[in-house]
Chains A and B, each alone.
Chain A
Amino acid sequence: QVQLQESGPGLVKPSQTLSLTCTVSGGSISSDYYYWSWIRQPAGKGLEWIGRIYTSGSTNYNPSLKSRVTISVDTSKNQFSLKLSSVTAADTAMYYCARIRAAAGTNYYYLDVWGKGTTVTVSS
């Protein structure tokens, strides 16, 4: 079955750009049926949706992060990526990638497959 795996630096300096990659295995990222998403969770706090991308490259971002976020897709590598610029300590969190799909024949979307997450700490 499809599996997702996050990767990237675990430590980023303030004001720099956080870069993470999600590798999709067991299925094609180019499928018309799915979006791909990033979600984060500060330690001990709730989930925050960051954004999503379709295989065509079309994106939607959380308005609170939109000015700093870029999500991209590399179909040749079966990966999608997150870049978050000008990071501060408030960006320290567990970052998850996930697959979004719709219930068959509907437009009811949900996040059905998640990666295990990767911890990113912003500190000098």
Chain B
Amino acid sequence: DIQMTQSPSSLSASVGDRVTITCRASQIISNYLNWYQQKPGKAPKLLIYAASSLQSGVPSRFSGSGSGTDFTLTISSLQPEDFATYYCQQSYSSLYSFGQGTKLEIK
């Protein structure tokens, strides 16, 4: 099984800040890595697929990078609507797995 580990588990930031969330895979997964945003009471929403491709309709302040085992999600300038929980997910294996999530809170 491929384990996904995110850091930090929680993060406090202010509107306008640049924020980076990290995701590490327990084995090489090339760039088969996706990022999701989840707000309270809502289903997750796809932000980034294939490590760095922006899903249609997602603001350009979101970006993803990385390959192999280490990946990052960056929000260039936090907006009020970005405070949420973020999850990475690997699709390298046909047995998918998610990171434990990073909760982004308002400072």
Contact = CB atoms under 8 A, between A and B. Distances in A.
Interface of A: 37, 46-49, 52, 60-63, 96, 98, 103, 106, 108-112, 114-117
A103 B49 contact: yes
Main secondary structure of the interface of A (DSSP, over half): strand
Given A103-B53, A108-B49, A108-B50, A117 B43 contact: yes
Interface in B18-50: 31-32, 34, 36, 38, 42-46, 49-50
Among A37, A47, A62, A63, max chain B CB count under 10 A is at A47
B63 to A, nearest CB: 16
B34 A111 contact: yes
Interface string B34-74: 10101000111110011001010000000000000000000
Main secondary structure of the interface of B (DSSP, over half): loop
A47 B91 contact: no
Given A47-B44, A52-B96, A114-B44, A109 B91 contact: yes
A120 to B, nearest CB: 15
B83 interface: no
B14 interface: no
A63 B43 contact: no
